[in-house]
Structure 1
Amino acid sequence: MHQEVVIKATRARVYQALTEERQFREVTNISIPGAATAISPEVGGTFSIFGGVISGRHIEMVPNERLVQAWREKDWTPGVSSVARFQLNDGGSDTRLVFDHTGFPQGKAESLATGWKSHYWDALQKYLA
C-alpha cells in the first residue's frame, strides 16, 4: 500500500509526533480517546499503541527523515508482522509524508488504508495544526 499526505508542520514536528510516547498518545486521543500508548525511543525498541491493538518494533529511525517499523495487529496470526515505512520529505513549512505498508495479511488492505487515514493522517493534521 502506498499513501502520500502533506502535513502542515515541519519534518521535526511530524517525526516527534510519530515517535515520542507522550505526543503520539495525544495524537491517538483524537481518534480513540483513552487508548493506552507505550513507545520505546530507540531502534529495536518496541511499541504498543491504540490500547494494544497495534504493536511492533522500530527497525530504522533516522530523526526527522524516516521511520521503519515491524507492525502488526493484535488479531493477526502469531508471528506475522508487516513493514510500515514513513519517509518525511521537506516541503518548506510543510512535510510530504510518503508512506509504504507491505507484508500485511491478504484481505486487510482496505481496512488498513482507512485506518491509516483516520487514525494517523487526519489525527496528525489536527494535532499539529
Structure 2
Amino acid sequence: MGAAAVSFTVEARAPACLNGFCEAWMSSKGHGTVTGGEAEVDARVRGKFTAWDGYISGKNVELSPGKKIVQTWRTTGFTRAQADSRIEIALRKSGKGTRLPLVHSKVPSDQAEDYRQGWE
C-alpha cells in the first residue's frame, strides 16, 4: 500500500499581469521560462502537458483565464499505483503584478516536502 496523500499551499508573486501569467504558464516556451526546464503544453481543457524536461506530466482540468488554472500533476517519481496529484493556482491582482497562491493536493506524503520545496 502506498503512502497517504497530503496537501500543501505555497505562494509566489509574478511581475506579469493576470493574463500575462496565464499566457506564460499555458505556452510551451513561457512555461519553460517560468519553471526553468523544457515544457510542452496543449493549452486546452483536457490538453496534456509535460514540464521540467519530461519529469512532470499532467492534464488541464480547468482553465479560467486571469482567474484560475487547475491541472492534474505527476512526476516520474510516482509509482503506477499512485493517483495523479492536483495543482490549483488562483490568480490574484497585486499592484502591477500577480499573487499566485498554489494548492498542491493528493501528493504522496513521502514526496510532498520535495515538491513543496520545488515550488518555492
Q: TM-score range by the shorter chain?
A: 0.7 to 0.9
Q: TM-score, normalised by structure 2?
A: 0.85
CA distance in 2, matches of 1:97, 1:36: 21
Measured after TM superposition, the shift of residue 15 of structure 1 is 1.1
CA distance in 2, matches of 1:60, 1:39: 14
Match for 2:98 among 95, 98, 110? 95
CA distance in 2, matches of 1:42, 1:14: 16
Find the residue that maps to 1:103 and give its secondary structure. strand
Match for 1:80 among 79, 83, 86? 83
Greater percentage in helix: 1
Does the CA contact (< 8 Å) of 2:39 and 2:52 recur in 1? yes
Residue 92 to residue 84, structure 1, CA distance change in 2 (3 Å): same
Letter in 2 for 1:67: I
For residues 20-39 of structure 1, what are the structure 2 equivalents within 5 Å? Answer: 20-29=27-36, 35-39=37-41
> Does 2:62 align with 1:60?
yes
RMSD: 1.4
Measured after TM superposition, the shift of residue 23 of structure 1 is 1.2
Greater percentage in strand: 2
Measured after TM superposition, the shift of residue 96 of structure 1 is 1.0
- Identity, % of aligned pairs? 28
Measured after TM superposition, the shift of residue 102 of structure 1 is 0.5
Unpaired runs of 5+ residues, structure 1, are: 30-34, 118-129
Does the CA contact (< 8 Å) of 2:27 and 2:40 recur in 1? no
CA distance in 2, matches of 1:14, 1:72: 22
Does the CA contact (< 8 Å) of 2:48 and 2:59 recur in 1? yes
Measured after TM superposition, the shift of residue 46 of structure 1 is 0.3
Measured after TM superposition, the shift of residue 94 of structure 1 is 1.7
